[in-house]
Structure 1
């Protein structure tokens, strides 16, 4: 087992930290120093991939950080560094959320405009990014879409967070990317809503005024039971962790939950809109 005091974290570039930690863990392996080939064999990857990661050259294939933590018994070190790397791929205003999201044991989302990023299909995300920046090239769009879809790994793990989502009815009616994109996206929503750990509801357009009309909001609960809120505007995002403010937002979310359609009625409405497209 590698002593974590020997493979530490620092406050520098997380990709460089990851590479240095990987090299140190490999060279300090207690049985004997592991070569890059040895580690590649144990991690079921290639020597060139190990070399690239140690030099800080992207990408880091998904699943490898957790596997490195198992091999070196590093108590989640490589997963934490990987999460920091992923957070750095997002604009600065979104990074605080990206640092909390992978560790969350519960996520509640309210969105009045678009499908939340954690539930977006690739085509839906691409349509949004393309509309946001008409000058973006294919490579840039592919990078942004890839970063967004990578966030969804949190929902595919062995212990996904409990997830609650409330969508304004306008979200499933708004044409993003055309009929084919919308049909696929609504089908994906139905699939998410059918998962045991997910609750998906639609707030009808006939609903009365409520406390979260100003914008999108997320509530994220960390493993130690602390809840934080994340609010988002067109070009801004902020983490709110002041307890009284978080309780107020959480109560507003509870009220919204009561006003939204039930899971079954929500699924029925989404299915009807999907067929209408």
Structure 2
């Protein structure tokens, strides 16, 4: 392990140290790894891996650690920071904006956005773009992608608005059953009170975002940043004129898109065609 990953600023290492410290300093008596594992309904080997920085942090454990040790969200925060740090540098600011957001507006012309992807869908997507990736690399990508979804389950989740081109429903780069489960996950997400999913019909007019996915992320201070991704690049735009134009374009998309109810009906119809 290089010197950089040994620094205490590394959130993955800090998570490990905080876990070990909380266990050893537990009141009224220190807990062994086996005892903590029983409280968390996991295995001793999992706790050992957590405390020695081996592998990804299982996303269900941080909130349980916060509950056992009454740490008021500390382990959840460290987990989110560890996930963000695992992304390439050019994506890290986006991850930070996402974690603090009060609203996230997503447009995608081709794929289900990462926040709403299932593990299998994400796996096929990654393997398609990186066919020589190892099993370990693929698992790391999928774990990181799924971990991002934790922000939807927080105490104060952001409002999430998603507009997808209808072509997303018909794209079949994965087996039908996997795509069916992904569409079911879309329906489930759209049933949340903080998530709205709309489908933009194929015959809709051309628009500014037609060629690429765009995310509009709004901070607690109601400042919006525009995130645009292309091949091996990602940009964040804060220029007020560009942001204003992007927000106006997104509003037009939601106006041209089917309603949430009509969109859910279309998604369900496509699911049936995949059975």
For normalisation by structure 2, the TM-score amounts to: 0.81
- C-alpha change, 1:224 and 1:11, in structure 2 (3 Å) is farther
- C-alpha change, 1:102 and 1:209, in structure 2 (3 Å) is same
- Residue 36 of structure 1 contacts residue 47 of structure 1 at CA under 8 Å; is this kept in 2? no
Q: Which runs of structure 2 are paired with 1:125-274 in the superposition (5 Å)?
A: 125-274=122-271
User: How many residues end up aligned between the 2 structures?
Assistant: 267
* 1:257 match: secondary structure: helix
> Which residue matches 1:7?
none
Q: Which runs of 5+ in 1 are unaligned?
A: 1-9
Q: Which runs of structure 2 are paired with 1:97-112 in the superposition (5 Å)?
A: 97-112=94-109
* 1:226-264 CA distance string (max 9 Å, x none): 332221112111233344433332222111111111112
* 1:10-60 CA distance string (max 9 Å, x none): 87322222334445556777x678455686677666666555444433443
- C-alpha change, 1:274 and 1:54, in structure 2 (3 Å) is closer
- C-alpha change, 1:44 and 1:34, in structure 2 (3 Å) is farther
Q: Output the CA distance in 2 between the equivalents of 1:224 and 1:28.
A: 38
- C-alpha change, 1:273 and 1:24, in structure 2 (3 Å) is closer
Q: Output the CA distance in 2 between the equivalents of 1:221 and 1:87.
A: 18
**Coordinate RMSD, CA, aligned:** 2.9
